[in-house]
Homo-oligomer: A and B are copies of this chain.
Amino acid sequence: MRTQRLILAAIEQDLKAAGMPPLAWYDVLWELVRTEDGRLRPFEIEERTLLAQHNLSRLLDRMEEAGLVRREILPEDGRGRWVLVTGEGRAMRARLWTVYAAAIERHLGAKVEDAVAATLADGLERLVRGT
């Protein structure tokens, strides 16, 4: 808990210092960009990012407001929406990544050897999966 809080705070700090939006924005953009056609349903983003539903709904409001994504109703199911990345959204993700990657390297990569990192990743993964 302590480690995560410290490192997350440090990374968010770096993003803010670079005038970038918070990490959650990156997470959403990334999930969208890595799909075939740059779009997902909100509930899919929800699952992938672990954001709470109402929380994501409002994050999408802000991102739409900022021109990074666009929402469209989908014909086959009137309840749902598509969330599409815009070009601006893709550009923002790329810019975010340069800062984010540097932050990861600084606050994580530079601190432990790859072997330790791999062991950590493995152990943490087990924790989630339950052995």
Contact = CB atoms under 8 A, between A and B. Distances in A.
A54 interface: no
A130 interface: yes
A66 interface: no
A4 B112 CA distance: 19
A119 B118 CA distance: 12
Interface residues of A, number: 26
Contact of A3 (B5, B113, B119, B125): B125
Interface of A: 1-8, 50, 108, 110-113, 116-117, 119-120, 123-128, 130-131
The 3 closest A-B pairs by CB, nearest first: A4-B4, A120-B123, A3-B124
